[in-house]
Amino acid sequence: MDRNSTIERVLRAVLLTLIVIFFLFPIVWILLMSFQTNEQILRIPPSLSFVPTLENYKALISGHLLTSAGSLDIAFMRNLGNSVLLSTCAVVLALILGVPAAYAFARFKFWLSEDIAFTLLSFRFAPPLLVLLPLSLYFQELGLDDTYTGLIWVYQLIALPLILWIVRGYFEDISPDIENAYRIAGHSWLRTFFKIAVPLAGPGIAAAGLLSFIFCWNNFVFALVLASADKQPVTVGALAFVTASGIQYGQVAAAIVLSVTPTLLLALYAQRWLVEGLSLGAVKG
């Protein structure tokens, strides 16, 4: 209904502005911080005008951190690379495993299918700390401790349930008659899966993939416990900024900006699919 009075419109605009400011404020502040030196950041009262500097970014990219106590080597770019590697591989593996599984759950009601599906989802409920310590022991025994393979495997705990639930919803939404029609036209069920089911669930698969990527990227605890410094992602790597000579706020801010940028760009690029995929996953419960 479009019966808008001026008051309503003004009120709506004010409210929207407030909400936008509320959410964007930390991000903007950190962005600004990343271009300031530590002294500028810690100045009281805080000031909005400053002379921007690229020192922080230079330090991160070169790997040398200059503090008042001397120089420190930070392997930040390596951490960034690890994040990319781990998240990408985890998601790709989860898609290869999860999409056919989601299809099976959607189309074939086999014995215990609901229970199995729920069990897989429950991995998202459990606090990671519960399994982490025993897992680290097993990993050491299996020789998977401090390996990329081990980490990618553990990341499936994050990525797989998400992909299963979201993509299953998309498969269920496809009218079975469309697949039946393709079968009757003479195609095997495998061809039907690849030519009909997967393309039609495309948006859901992309959304689930993106979400999993974001969650894997943000993960902290698994990598902290199960890997050593050279394999750790940015989330853990950021700890290094808490140095003996104090917290290097400027570099931390720059590190945050660099860590957030890949996922932010991906999300912006595919935002339409993300919203669609999220709501669908929620409804198909």
Partner 1 sequence: MSASLSLRAVDKVYHPRGRSSVHAVKALSMEVDRGEIVALLGSSGCGKTSTLRMVAGFEDVSAGEISLANRRIERLAPAARNVAMAFEGYSLYPPLTVRENIAFALKRGRLSAGEVSRRVQEVAALVEIEPILDRYPNSISGGQQQRASLARALVRDAALYVLDEPMGQLEPQLRAVLRGRLKRLLKDRAMTSIFVTHDQTEANALADRIAVMEGGMLQQFAPQHVLKERPANLYVATFIGEPPMNVFDASVVRDDGRTMFELDNGPSFGFGDNELGPEVRQAIGKRRRVVIGVRPHRVVLGNGSAETARVVSNQWLGDQSHVAMAVAGKLLVAVSHARVRAAIGESVPYGVRAQDLHIFDVDTTVALAHGARAA
Partner 2 sequence: MAQIDMAQIEIRNLHKSFKDDAVLKGLSLSVDKGEIVTLFGPSGTGKTVLLRLLAGIHPQDAGTIFLRGRDATGSPPDKRGIGMAFQNFALFPHMTARDNIASALTARKTDAGEIARKVERVAQLLKIGHVLGHSPRELSNGQKQRTALARALVADPDILLLDDPLRNVDAKLRYEMRLELPALLKRVGSTVVYVTQDFKEAMALGDRVAVLLDGRIAQCDTPARIYAEPVNVGVARLFGDPTLNLIEVAPQLVDGAPEIRLGGAAIRLPASYAAAAGSPCLLGLRPEGLRLVDGPAPGAIAVDLVAVTPLNEKSVLLLTMQGGEELLASEAGDRDEPRRPGPAHVAIDPDTLLLFERESGRRFIPAENGKGGS
The pairing of beta strand 64-67 with beta strand 242-243: unpaired
Q: Cβ–Cβ contacts within 10 Å for residue 24, how many?
A: 11
What is the smallest separation between the CB atom of 170 and partner 1, expressed in angstroms? 24
Query: Residue 242 has which token pair?
Result: 């808490």
Residue 183 touches partner 2, criterion: CB under 8 A: yes
Residue 109 touches partner 1, criterion: CB under 8 A: no
Residue 113 touches partner 2, criterion: CB under 8 A: no
Q: Which is nearer to partner 2, 6 or 188 (CB)?
A: 188
- Residue 257: what are its φ and ψ, rounded to 5°? -60, -45
Distance (Å) of CA 102 to CA 18, 112, 197: 41, 14, 11
Please pick, from the candidates 2, 39, 115, 177, the single residue that binds partner 1 as defined by CB under 8 A: 2
How far apart CA 6 and CA 183 sit, in angstroms, is: 57
Please pick, from the candidates 116, 200, 206, 224, the single residue that binds partner 2 as defined by CB under 8 A: 200
- 75 DSSP 8-state letter: -
Q: What angle do CA 155, 156, 157 make, to 5 degrees?
A: 85
Look at residue 133 and give the partner it binds from partner 2, partner 1, none, a contact being a CB closer than 5 to 8 Å depending on partner kind. Answer: none
What is the smallest separation between the CB atom of 6 and partner 1, expressed in angstroms? 17
By rule CB under 8 A, what string of x and - marks binding of each residue 144-183 to partner 1? ----------------------------------------
Look at residue 182 and give the partner it binds from partner 2, partner 1, none, a contact being a CB closer than 5 to 8 Å depending on partner kind. Answer: partner 2
What lies within 8 Å, CB to CB, of 19 at 6+ separation is: none
Residue 115 touches partner 1, criterion: CB under 8 A: no
Tell me what percent of the chain is helix, strand and coil, each rounded to the nearest 5.
Answer: 75, 5, 20
What is the smallest separation between the CB atom of 4 and partner 1, expressed in angstroms? 11
* Total residues in contact with partner 1, by rule CB under 8 A: 3
Which residues ranging from 87 to 106 are in contact with partner 2 (CB under 8 A)? Answer: none
What is the smallest separation between the CB atom of 192 and partner 2, expressed in angstroms? 8
Look at residue 3 and give the partner it binds from partner 2, partner 1, none, a contact being a CB closer than 5 to 8 Å depending on partner kind. Answer: partner 1
Which residues ranging from 3 to 62 are in contact with partner 1 (CB under 8 A)? Answer: 3
Please pick, from the candidates 139, 170, 182, 222, the single residue that binds partner 2 as defined by CB under 8 A: 182
Q: Which is nearer to partner 1, 4 or 68 (CB)?
A: 4
Residue 187 touches partner 2, criterion: CB under 8 A: yes
Distance (Å) of CA 115 to CA 47, 112, 119, 170, 243: 57, 5, 6, 19, 48
Distance (Å) of CA 220 to CA 62, 77, 128, 239: 24, 17, 10, 11
Cβ atoms 193, 100 nearer than 8 A: yes
The alpha carbon dihedral of 23, 264, 158, 149 has a sign of negative
Footprint of partner 1 (CB under 8 A): 1-3
Binding site for partner 2 (CB under 8 A): 175, 177-178, 180-189, 191, 196, 199-200
